[in-house]
Amino acid sequence: MTVDASGNDLSAVGIPITGFLGFAPKGTVFPTSTEGAASTFTLPIAFVKAGLLTEDGGFEWTLEPDGDPIKFYQDGYQIPSGLANATLVVKLAQYDAMVRELSYGKTADANGYLTIDAGGHAVEYVAFTEEIFKSGAIRRRIAEVSVTGAKVDKSERGAVNGTELTCAAKRSASLGNDHIGEWWLPASSGTAPTVTAASPSGAATAATVTITGTGFTGATAVKFGAANATSFNVVSSTSITAVMPSGTSGSAEITVTTAYGTSNSFAYTRAA
């Protein structure tokens, strides 16, 4: 933390650069306080990531008391009602089987067909969000939720047709009867990733390369030499699969970048 003479700290300003959203069935065991605080944290297997979010559709949590406070005869004494409006709003860019199930509480048949009850559904989930900030800080939140609204964007040619989900968070025994569990990992709690291996060797354009190392959670870039991977997927904190970009044969050192910095340059020779 770097605080100036006026008590201001630019490094503490939250500027999100990436993140993800995961859902798991109701009853899924929550990560412990220690597990969720690990810089090498990997989302438990019970969770399924919701895929791409729209650029302006990141996590919007509303956490506010609801109802008038309980007041007493003596002036100035009151306690909260205990009621709350705790919601998560997020806009999903993809429209696939998972998004349809979250939105409508049903899975489609073999023909891709399902019926939609506009009155909503009662299926409950465990939601997990992770945001990585420009400073390198990470915020993770978990809650038991129900989907109370699914609004599909107006269809516009050439624009992403997103689905805005509104989820209501409920009090959870897993959270000591509170609504949301939150981890805040300051920027100093992480280190730059390292790359220790890549296979297969000699991959050509469009081939998939498995990169092994440490600290891959929240990776924002994977490069082969000066070229960005065509696409990549963070499998876990120690594994990434990346698609080789076009190029000529020869040296193509691999680097991985996260909010904590860029890894070592791992020697790799590619085919054309």
pLDDT beyond 90 at 258? no
The CATH number that domain 191-270 falls under is 2.60.40.10
For the stretch 116-148, pLDDT in tens is 999 999 999 999 999 988 877 889 999 999 999
pLDDT beyond 70 at 193? yes
Name the average pLDDT for the chain: 92
Helix H or strand E segment including 34: helix 33-36
Helix H or strand E segment including 255: strand 254-258
Distances (CA, A) of 186 to 99, 139, 183, 259: 32, 9, 10, 11
Both tokens of residue 258?
Answer: 């996260």
As beta bridge partners, residue 269 has: 251
